[in-house]
Each structure stands twice: as C-alpha cells, then as structure tokens.
Structure 1
Amino acid sequence: MRLTLRQLQVFRAVCESRSYSRAADEMALTQPAVSLQIRQLEELIGQPLFEYLGRKLYLTPAAEALQRASTDIFGRLDSLDMQLSDLQGSLQGQLNLAVESSAKYITPHLFAAFKRQHPEVNLELVVVNHAQAVKRLSVSRDDLLIMSQVPTDMDLEFMPFLDNPIVAVAPAGHPLCQIGDLTLQDLTAYPLLVREPGSGTRKASEDYLRQKRAHFAQTTQVASLDALREAVVAGLGVALMPRHAVHLEVAHGLLCELPVQELPLYRSWCVVHPRGKRLSPVAQAFFAFIRAERARISALATRFDAAPTAHRASG
C-alpha cells in the first residue's frame, strides 16, 4: 500500500467535517480533487471508506480503522518534530487539549503559566461536555483532556490537580439572598435550572440532590454553561454551578452564591489520557508541569474564589 500523507490529510478532513465540500474548503482544494483522493485511497484499501444514509455521511469500519492509524501516524510525526526542536534546546509544538466546559475558565490561566516556561508552545483548545469528553477519550482524539468524574470503565491514566467546587447561585434580589443560612431543601420551592444531558456538572448535581433527597418540582433545561448562567441572572430560577463559572457575576453583584449547608459539592479536575498513549514531548511537559506545580495552580485558582454573599444581604 502506497498511501501518501496528502491523501491521509484529505481523508482526516473529510472525517472531521463529514462533508466533501467542507473538507475541500478546509484544504483549499476543489471538491473533485477531494473526491479523487478518497477514491484513490479506496482503491488502495480495497474497501469503501464512506457511505451516505439520507444526506448524512458515515464512516465505514475500514474508515474507522484508517482514522485510528492516521491519528497515530500524524501524532508520531508531530512528536518527531517536537523531539528535534527539543534537541535544539527549546520545546516547540502544539498542545491539543480538550476540556469540559466548566474548566474553560481556569485552563487559559493554566496554559499561560506553562507557556511562560515554554514560550514556543502553542495551544489548540476544544471545549466539550462530559459525554463528548468520554467519546474523545475512547478514540484518543486529543493529546490530553481535562475533566472531572473520570470514567471508571476505561483504561485511563489521570492525575487530580484542582478542586472544582459546585455551588448554588440565585439572581441578585432573589428571596433566598436575604437568608443567612440555607439547606438544599430550602431551594426546592424554586425552579431549578439544569444543563443538557451529558453535562458532568448536571450528573454530579443530580446524583448529589438524589442522595440528599432534595427534589425539585420544576426544572428547566438550558443547553450550555454560559446560557445557564445568563438564565439565572435573568431570574428564571436557581442553579448549581461551578464556582469558577460564576465568580465575575458574583463579584459584580449580578448573582449571589447561596450559603447552603451541604455545599459546595467538591469534585476534582483531572488531566487525563488513555493508558499506554504515546504522549508528544509537549504533552509530556504539560503533564509534568501540572504534577510539579499543583501548589502554584491552586494559587492561580484563588482568583475564582467567591464567598457566599447571601449573609451580606440579610437584615
């Protein structure tokens, strides 16, 4: 088989976009040129790579196998490039990092601290929910992934490095903001705003509320972390949210963090990769940085701390 790197690049673009036309735009090619490259690949492999069901493009089993192989090939080439740079005395390359949505607030500060040590390293950051994070881990899509609630049914290497406190918030002026000491039961008289299915924060919160027998009669689902925060500010209900995600709104008086006895609910942020995955030199350096600098990372996170404000409004 005489596959070319160009063919594999085009193939990966089609896999990512699930569209010949979008892959052509991404690769600065014409659509017929993309079709030709895929057809040549199929002739070499002897099997079809894609099939249409309706108007949607799906990967065949052969394409899934080729996708895994191409990920390994390009990963090794990236690693070689980084190793050659390292031999020249500086770490260079790109860190492909995926993070669960509520980690997107701390991650840029984390990478900035790392980049001060390695100024020639760049970041490609993808923000996903928990379910998408698990799927990306299953195909080793990223160099590293930052998540909470690491799956126990997958063979993963992970390292906890920072607390992820989940707190209750309400809009400024809400009746609960006038009470100095609350329980989860006190919140159940009001609508609860929740994330979409697949959110790690939603799953952790639902499990905890069930454990504490706190049942909300009315819930409203909101499709993203940012939209959820705005829905609380708008007065549509209360929510359990990562403290990191609401610190600015609390600091500026748009939200109040409710002093609930059973909260915060603590989970840990972990840096994760499949066990046995060949890490690039940049990924190795980032993993080592997190291991060595946990005290410094905790200090970075203090900027997101916000004490409950409800007791300030009482009286």
Structure 2
Amino acid sequence: MRKALSRLTLRQLQVFRAVCESRSYSRAAEEMALSQPAVSLQMRQLEELLGQPLFDYQGRQLHLTAAAEALQAASRDLFARLEVLDMQLSDLAGSLQGQLNLALESSAKYMLPHLFAAFRRAYPEVGLQLAVVNHAQAVRRLGQSRDDLLIMTQVPTDMALDFYPFLSNPIIAVAAAGHPLCAASSLSLADLSGYPLLVREVGSGTRRACEEYCQQKRVRFAQQLEIGSSEAQCEGVLAGLGLALLPRHAVQRELASGLLCQLPVQELPLQRSWCLVSQRGRQLSPVARAFADFIQQRRDVLAALEQRFNA
C-alpha cells in the first residue's frame, strides 16, 4: 500500500462523500457544518495524497474522475465495515443497535413503514436509512452494493442474488367512483382498452409488469398518459383522466373511502410478491440479518399486513 494512503483520515473521507453525493462544494460544506474554503482545502489535501485529481468541472457541473469513483467505492466499503463493527460491539454488549440501510421500489413505501414499525418494537435502538426508487434504479443499486437489503418484485435473473418472497402485491384496475365501468358486474381486460390508461414512468416495475401482462393478453391501450408516481396516477384517476393499473397497497385508502372503485376484471388482479433481496454471498450486518430473520419468522406480522392492505 502507498505510504500516502496511510495518512488518509476518516474526516477527509466523510467530506469527500458529501461532495460526491451533493456534487457541490457549497452544499457539502452546509451538510458538514464547514466553510466552503475548508471543504476545498480537505479535497486539495486528499488529491495530493492520491496524486490524482478527484473532480472535473464541465461547465458548472461537477463530475467525478476515475480516481474519485475508485475512492468512493473504497470509502463506501470502509464505512460499511465500521458500521458493522459498531453493531457487533452493541451485540456483544447485549443490545442490537445500528442502522438498517434499505432500498425499496416506490410502491412498497405504503407497506414498509408498518413492517419496520413492527420490527422496531422488537429492536427499538435500530435506525433506518431508506431509499425509495423505481425498478431500474433498484437494479443499479444492487450492482453498486449500496444497500444492506432491497425490497422489489421482479428480481433480476442475470445477477447473483438471494431473495425471499414474503408478501403479496396484487395489481388491480381502478376507476373513479361514478365511472361507467364501475356499474359492470364483470369485465375483460380488453373492455378497458377504449379508455385512457394512466401509466408510470419508464423504469417503473409496475409499468413493466403491466405492459408485459397486456402484451401476453394481446390487449393494447390506444391512449396512455405517463404520470411519474402512483400518487399522481391516483389523483389523475380521481380527476377523470382515465383508468389505472395500480398495486392495491397504493390505493387502499381511496378504495375504503369509496373515492375509487376496483373494476371487476376477470384477468386481474395481477399477482406479484414483494421479495427481500441481497447479493449472494454478501455477509449481512447484524441489523440486516435481524431484519431478514424477522421477515422470515414473524408470519403473524405479515398476515396482519396482508389483511390490512388486501382486504
């Protein structure tokens, strides 16, 4: 190892990570409670130790150099190991402490707070860092080892992953109360195709699953309106813009209140399952291991969630 690398400090790496995440010296300074000249000085010292530039400005946009990307990966591994050490020391002291770094596909955000609340009742000293992403972003995060665990539905088959299906995530067709289709006793998926369909953005797992299913059933919607979140889809349906295929979790309150109706489509719901995913062979932190064990062992908690969202 180069002698210069032994002079790296954790503080320098913390400041470096803040700059990488914010892509701005001024925002990193604000986050770290430092002055901007202090951040600039730390980065210059870091570049001198490495012997290579870390950042490159193209116009007003800050970009990472190849050296910065390598250092970012190494610093992520280092701080992850320190986090695991902290958890192990807490475990030796008789209590589980630390932070669960979790990412999930956006439609799971309705279910996860209830699941984590049940977990935290068992382990009250555990914290949570949560990233809500779409399917494409989730796959990228898996490749970058950015999270302890990830919750998603369509698990990639071309990656070495361990996964555990634990909760159903049915996709249903919904319309605003009073829509003509709400009076039907039975519908086919093709019966919906004459109405506009509100869809998520490209990269959404729900959109991908619905498109594949409609292709399989040879149903094509002539009009599609792209809306970037399930909440906006729901509001669009309420506003009369069209129909939507949505996870039942996402519209449970609107269905219960009568604002939306679930259309009686013979080919629906489209049944999927939430899966807890991790990289194969990766050693989980004590907190992540406890969360995975909690999901696999506490069937009573999962049954209560199933009843809450799928009633």
Deviates more, 1:258-267 or 1:274-283: 274-283
Report if aligned partners of 2:168, 2:306 keep a CA contact under 8 Å in 1: no
Deviates more, 1:142-151 or 1:272-281: 272-281
> Does the alignment pair 1:287 with 2:292?
yes
Report if aligned partners of 2:196, 2:222 keep a CA contact under 8 Å in 1: yes
Task: State the Cα deviation string for residues 189-224 of structure 1 (Å, max 9, x = none).
Answer: 100000011100000000100110111110000011
> Does the alignment pair 1:75 with 2:77?
no
Report if aligned partners of 2:160, 2:279 keep a CA contact under 8 Å in 1: yes
- Tell me the residue number matched to 1:17: 22
What does 1:181-192 correspond to in 2, within 5 Å? 181-192=186-197
Query: Structure 2: how far apart are the matches of 1:18 and 1:152?
Result: 33
- Tell me the residue number matched to 2:304: 299
- Tell me the residue number matched to 1:311: none
Amino acid at match of 1:110: L
Shift of 1:184: 0.4
- Tell me the residue number matched to 2:177: 172
Long gaps (5+) in structure 1 = 307-315
Shift of 1:290: 1.0
Shift of 1:96: 1.4
Report if aligned partners of 1:106, 1:301 keep a CA contact under 8 Å in 2: no
Pick the aligned partner of 1:58 from 47, 57, 63.
63
Q: Determine helix, strand or coil for the equivalent of 2:211.
A: helix
> Does the alignment pair 1:110 with 2:115?
yes
Report if aligned partners of 1:96, 1:125 keep a CA contact under 8 Å in 2: yes
Query: Structure 1: how far apart are the matches of 2:280 and 2:299?
Result: 22
- Tell me the residue number matched to 1:309: none
Amino acid at match of 2:133: V
Shift of 1:299: 2.5
- Tell me the residue number matched to 1:313: none
Query: Structure 2: how far apart are the matches of 1:200 and 1:54?
Result: 35
Shift of 1:278: 3.0
Report if aligned partners of 2:110, 2:249 keep a CA contact under 8 Å in 1: yes
Query: Structure 2: how far apart are the matches of 1:123 and 1:139?
Result: 19
- Tell me the residue number matched to 1:198: 203
- Tell me the residue number matched to 2:272: 267
Alignment RMSD (CA, Å): 1.1
What does 1:239-254 correspond to in 2, within 5 Å? 239-254=244-259
Report if aligned partners of 2:118, 2:301 keep a CA contact under 8 Å in 1: no
- Tell me the residue number matched to 2:224: 219
What does 1:134-145 correspond to in 2, within 5 Å? 134-145=139-150
- Tell me the residue number matched to 2:38: 33
Amino acid at match of 1:113: A
Shift of 1:295: 4.8
Shift of 1:296: 2.9
Q: TM-score, normalised by structure 1?
A: 0.95
Shift of 1:254: 0.6
Shift of 1:298: 2.9
Identity between Structure 1 and Structure 2 (%): 71
Pick the aligned partner of 2:124 from 93, 98, 119.
119
Report if aligned partners of 1:162, 1:294 keep a CA contact under 8 Å in 2: no
> Does the alignment pair 1:49 with 2:54?
yes
> Does the alignment pair 1:158 with 2:163?
yes
Q: Determine helix, strand or coil for the equivalent of 2:157.
A: coil
Q: TM-score, normalised by structure 2?
A: 0.96
**After the TM superposition, which parts of structure 1 deviate over 6 Å for at least 4 consecutive aligned residues?**
none
Query: Structure 1: how far apart are the matches of 2:32 and 2:56?
Result: 21
Shift of 1:98: 1.1
Amino acid at match of 2:293: A
Long gaps (5+) in structure 2 = none
Query: Structure 1: how far apart are the matches of 2:50 and 2:76?
Result: 17
Report if aligned partners of 2:115, 2:301 keep a CA contact under 8 Å in 1: no
